[in-house]
A and B are shown apart, each in its own frame.
Chain A
């Protein structure tokens, strides 16, 4: 009955709840910045992919395959250690995780934007063009507003995925909530409490954003 030796001590968590929340906030804002950059990159890349010009479409396609095929953890250490070694660019650990999230995320967002743009009837584009709108204005006033409704739900799911992925950041010593839990575990030996707390915070955050996506999805469906 060896497990009876473990004394549960939830005060390790409850006495430090502000620290856990501060750590969770690091996960959240890093994921948000990574996601924003992923959206920007994804949109540009989707336009390149649908441009019909081969020197753009082929690299854009390969980009998506690579970004979606490489694990986030590998991407992170490749940027943080590998790129630093060959170029001498010493990214801070925050920069490294944000870049890794942006790159990985952009593989998914590219495909989401591409599908969203493809779902808009060609007639819309042709009608706007024949009414004298420039290409930029056609996209800005006609295509994007309609595509926006289509892309929001899957983009929300991508954000949730990146938020979950962001918890890996403690391996390069970004002081997020998992980093805090690891530190507490090493010093106080309370692995059950601290990792349960981190898990609970993550579940709450993810379920909250999933609920937001669900509501948005229902709102936007009424077109």
Chain B
């Protein structure tokens, strides 16, 4: 605290020297994020369908959404990676634990997105399909879902940005993702400012790219709907 601002000499050369580590980290981060998105897209739809069943089965879906949305990813990961491993003998490696945690959390969010989209479809569509002789499953698969999918897709892609950001937490259990690689380099070079600024920039770029994709998708899908 002797002199503010003046004594620090920046050394940005450590960043290009660490490119290989960033690349490896980005690969793992994307792998974890993409797997989690794929799994939670499927699981989220199942949960949404369960949620919309009238009666006690629907309540199970409701409870799933409420509870699984309420936990933070860090608590999820600690519970899955340490708690379940010790008590039930479910031994996942850090990447698997991260994917499971991200999938459980985001499937609950995605279930609500699906539900809103499915409910936005005019009931007349369903009635018309049923009266034309399509079964319940046929109606859903060929009439309701293709329309609901278009409504849901932009929000689902936006959820992907949250997954990318949240995935940084898997570094805490030792999955070698972007954040983990950065922390390693920080302790090697003792340059927290340069590294954390860079990694913030990398996450920002990834998120902005995905968000752009979402808004482009939204415009395109609306053009077809109109």
Contacts and interface: CB of A to CB of B under 8 A. Distances in A.
A195 interface: yes
Interface in B3-19: 3-5, 7-8, 10
A40 interface: no
A75 B15 CA distance: 18
A151 interface: no
Interface in A65-79: 65-66, 68-75, 77-78
Main secondary structure of the interface of A (DSSP, over half): helix
A191 B87 contact: yes
A69 B4 contact: no
A185 B203 contact: no
B71 A203 contact: yes
Interface string B10-44: 10000000000000000000000000000000000
A90 interface: yes
A189 interface: yes
B186 interface: yes
Contacts of A83: 193
Nearest to A181: B78
Interface residues of B, number: 50
Contacts of B207: 68-69
Interface stretch (A49-57, A109-117, A165-173, A215-223): A165-173
B208 A78 contact: no
Interface stretch (A2-10, A120-128, A129-137): A2-10
B75 A198 contact: yes
A87 B2 CA distance: 10
A87 to B, nearest CB: 6
A81 interface: yes
Given A6-B87, A85-B193, A193-B83, 17 more contacts: A6-B89, A65-B208, A66-B204, A71-B166, A71-B169, A74-B168, A78-B197, A81-B192, A82-B192, A88-B3, A89-B1, A168-B74, A191-B78, A191-B79, A198-B79, A199-B76, A202-B72
Interface of B: 1-5, 7-8, 10, 66-67, 69-72, 74-76, 78-79, 82-89, 161, 165-166, 168-169, 171-172, 179, 183, 186, 191-193, 195-197, 199-200, 203-204, 207-208, 211
Interface of A: 2-3, 6, 8, 65-66, 68-75, 77-78, 81-90, 164-165, 167-168, 171, 178, 181-182, 185, 189, 191-196, 198-199, 202-203, 206-207, 210
